[in-house]
Chain A
Amino acid sequence: MVEIRFHGRGGQGAVTSAELLAQAAIKEGKYAQAFPAFGAERRGAPVLAFTRISDEVIKLRIGIYQPDVVIVLDPSLVKAVPVVAGLKEGGLVVLNSKKGPGDWKKDLGREDVMVASVDATSIAMEELGVPITNVVMLGALLKAKPLVNLEPLEGFIAQRFPRIAGKEIKAFRRAYQETRVE
């Protein structure tokens, strides 16, 4: 089982990222769960969303405390929230940042983990015109860890954003290309 924790801000679509990933995994015949950290949602506040993917039935129904993967949608969150808290040894951090993954390893104080980084905000601004990075960051995740195939995920992205499907998919593919992993 792979446990993934998304960090975002209210309104950035972290929950959507978690859901799209789970839907794609389920489509491939896997078992998956996606859910938000339960609470009152407020725009701008740091939020969490979770995805579990497994080849077997998932019986755990609590938050993810020791993730295999952490995805950070907003570069400013790293300062505000302990994003790598509980991250498993040798786990993966996917960051929205202009800075390269090597530098991040030092900054996070976790030399043991793998880091992927991509300038998702720039990609989102160029392709979508808004700094919403949820779909972009899924491209970065899949580059670093091919949890699901690209095509079914793109299908769900198109379904979720019918009016800007082309732009979202282009941004998603760009992130997949431009992500650096170390």
Chain B
Amino acid sequence: MAKRTGIEVSIAIAEAARQADVDVVSAYPITPQTHIVEHLAQLVADGDLDANYITVESEHTAMSACVGASAAGARVFTSTSSQGLALMNEIVYLASSLRTPVVMALANRALSGPISIWNDHSDVMNERDTGWICIFANNGQEAYDLTLMAFRIGEDKRVMLPVMINFDGFILTHVIEPIYMFDDDEIADFIPPYEPVIYLDTDNPITMGPVGVPDIYTEAKKQQEVAIRESRSVIDEVFDEFAGRYGRRYRAVETYKAEDAEIVLLAQGSVIEAAEAAVDVLRDQGKKVGAVELRLWRPFPFDDLREVLCGTSIKQVVVLDRCISFGGPIGPVLSEVRSALYLEKDKPMVVGVVAGLGGRDIHLEEYIEMFRIGEECLRTGKDAGEEPELVKIVGLRE
């Protein structure tokens, strides 16, 4: 039976890794870290988790150790944030191309500079094209549940890809809130022992990570692209099984009061709950508004998104980005949502706003302002920002 506990979200995520019975944890306590790896180090030291905790001298090595351990057939977990992930970047690509299903808990935070230890989505957007399965959690419960599911998804023989579970740094990692945690036995049943497809074995040697000459590289990348695309059916299967077992249903694209809405705010992560609160306020004023959450970031849920946004009551989408793509479309999520709808005939207008960078709180009135911007854009048919910028930064001091 699941037990409702008041627990820090970071500790709950670490407990999920323990319950998944990971073999190897490697992480580096760069600032800002979280209690996730601290708690796991404690569990290993106290003998409460039979795993190797590999201490390293940098995040680059942490990810290298993770990939190596996974290549040797171990179940591997790590956690990081912002600059730490940026330092891992080189090996993050290797994890996906070597098909090592490492699970990473990513406490989303801003990138320097100026130096910031606070929350936004700059770190994950920087890793967008690394070939990892990438899923967002909105609250502590989801972060715990999705960490458990990440092992099932990534390690599935039809997938064999690393998985990144995203949750907002500080806003979620440092909060104590009620979380339903499962018994260890239940999780042992849900997450069976890991069986690798290929692994480094001296009795049956193989080479992992060889040179891919120009005659090979393109085919290798195509294979990888197909793998992450095809992981979608397994993600849905695992979401289904989880819902069947435990009653909580996860979807690639989640909606809130969007069925008859004209204007929706589309976002990722913990802000979606506050957006829902803003929807409630505006609904009370008779406005037809809703919220849409892009939970699954990679593989991108094209069909799901089109189903929600196209040929429906929705006339206007306001995409809330928590990161800036400098000199580009400004909002990375904005540009992807727009491109996903490009060929659709009956599609809404899509405009973008940016807010909540580097730990700036987004107040309820600001969410309401975002809906107002949506209304305005729908009326004028223009982008949210003033020329030449496409997006409007909400909460900016002009």
Show the binding face of A for B, using Cβ within 8 Å. Answer: 19, 22-27, 29, 31-36, 38-40, 58-63, 65
- The range of chain B's interface size is 20 to 34
Q: A35 to B145, alpha carbons, bound, how many Å?
A: 21
Q: Are B363 and A26 in contact (CB under 8 A)?
A: no
Q: Are B274 and A32 in contact (CB under 8 A)?
A: no
Q: In the assembled complex, how far is the CB of residue A19 from the closest CB belonging to chain B, in whole angstroms?
A: 5
For B277, what are the chain A residues with a Cβ–Cβ distance below 8 Å?
A: 59-60
Mask, B31-50, CB within 8 Å of A = 1, is 00000000000000000000
Q: Are B177 and A33 in contact (CB under 8 A)?
A: yes
Known interface pairs A36-B174, A38-B359; A26-B274 also in contact (CB < 8 Å): no
Contact of A27 among B6, B118, B119 (CB under 8 A): B6
Q: Are A26 and B174 in contact (CB under 8 A)?
A: no
Show the binding face of B for A, using Cβ within 8 Å. Answer: 4-6, 8, 117-119, 168, 170-172, 174-178, 270-271, 273-274, 276-277, 359, 361-364
Q: A25 to B118, alpha carbons, bound, how many Å?
A: 28
Q: A6 to B270, alpha carbons, bound, how many Å?
A: 23
Q: Are A31 and B178 in contact (CB under 8 A)?
A: yes
Known interface pairs A59-B277, A62-B362; A23-B6 also in contact (CB < 8 Å): yes
Known interface pairs A61-B270, A61-B273; A35-B359 also in contact (CB < 8 Å): no
Q: In the assembled complex, how far is the CB of residue A54 from the closest CB belonging to chain B, in whole angstroms?
A: 11
For A29, what are the chain B residues with a Cβ–Cβ distance below 8 Å?
A: 4
For B5, what are the chain A residues with a Cβ–Cβ distance below 8 Å?
A: 26
Q: Are B362 and A32 in contact (CB under 8 A)?
A: no
Q: A106 to B361, alpha carbons, bound, how many Å?
A: 33
For B270, what are the chain A residues with a Cβ–Cβ distance below 8 Å?
A: 61
Q: In the assembled complex, how far is the CB of residue A39 from the closest CB belonging to chain B, in whole angstroms?
A: 8
Chain A, residue nearest B270 (CB): A61
Q: Are A32 and B178 in contact (CB under 8 A)?
A: yes
Q: A40 to B276, alpha carbons, bound, how many Å?
A: 30
Q: In the assembled complex, how far is the CB of residue B333 from the closest CB belonging to chain A, in whole angstroms?
A: 19
For B362, what are the chain A residues with a Cβ–Cβ distance below 8 Å?
A: 62
Q: A26 to B12, alpha carbons, bound, how many Å?
A: 15
In the complex, besides A26-B5, A29-B4, 15 extra interface pairs with C-beta distance below 8 angstroms are: A26-B6, A32-B6, A32-B178, A35-B170, A38-B118, A38-B119, A38-B359, A58-B177, A59-B274, A61-B171, A61-B172, A61-B175, A61-B270, A63-B361, A65-B363
For B274, what are the chain A residues with a Cβ–Cβ distance below 8 Å?
A: 59-62
Q: Is the interface of A mostly helix, strand, loop or mixed?
A: mixed
Q: A38 to B361, alpha carbons, bound, how many Å?
A: 11
Q: Are A62 and B359 in contact (CB under 8 A)?
A: no
Chain A, residue nearest B8 (CB): A19
Q: Are B363 and A62 in contact (CB under 8 A)?
A: yes
Q: Are A23 and B273 in contact (CB under 8 A)?
A: no
Q: Are B174 and A35 in contact (CB under 8 A)?
A: yes
The 7 A-B pairs with the shortest beta carbon distances in the complex, nearest first, are A26-B6, A62-B361, A23-B6, A59-B273, A38-B170, A34-B176, A35-B175
For B172, what are the chain A residues with a Cβ–Cβ distance below 8 Å?
A: 61
Known interface pairs A26-B5, A27-B6, A59-B277; A33-B175 also in contact (CB < 8 Å): yes
Contact of A26 among B4, B171, B361 (CB under 8 A): B4
Q: In the assembled complex, how far is the CB of residue A22 from the closest CB belonging to chain B, in whole angstroms?
A: 5
Contact of B177 among A26, A36, A63 (CB under 8 A): A26
Q: Are B273 and A33 in contact (CB under 8 A)?
A: no
Q: A60 to B359, alpha carbons, bound, how many Å?
A: 15
Q: A65 to B276, alpha carbons, bound, how many Å?
A: 20
Q: In the assembled complex, how far is the CB of residue B370 from the closest CB belonging to chain A, in whole angstroms?
A: 15
Q: A39 to B174, alpha carbons, bound, how many Å?
A: 11
Q: In the assembled complex, how far is the CB of residue B156 from the closest CB belonging to chain A, in whole angstroms?
A: 32
Q: Are B4 and A38 in contact (CB under 8 A)?
A: no
Q: A60 to B271, alpha carbons, bound, how many Å?
A: 9
Q: Are A32 and B174 in contact (CB under 8 A)?
A: no
Q: A36 to B170, alpha carbons, bound, how many Å?
A: 9
Q: In the assembled complex, how far is the CB of residue A58 from the closest CB belonging to chain B, in whole angstroms?
A: 8
Q: In the assembled complex, how far is the CB of residue A133 from the closest CB belonging to chain B, in whole angstroms?
A: 20
Q: Please, could you name 13 A-B residue pairs with CB atoms under 8 Å apart, sorted by A?
A: A22-B176, A23-B6, A25-B6, A26-B177, A32-B177, A32-B178, A35-B170, A35-B176, A38-B117, A59-B276, A59-B277, A61-B171, A61-B270
Chain A, residue nearest B362 (CB): A62
Q: In the assembled complex, how far is the CB of residue B255 from the closest CB belonging to chain A, in whole angstroms?
A: 16
Q: A59 to B8, alpha carbons, bound, how many Å?
A: 17
For B8, what are the chain A residues with a Cβ–Cβ distance below 8 Å?
A: 19
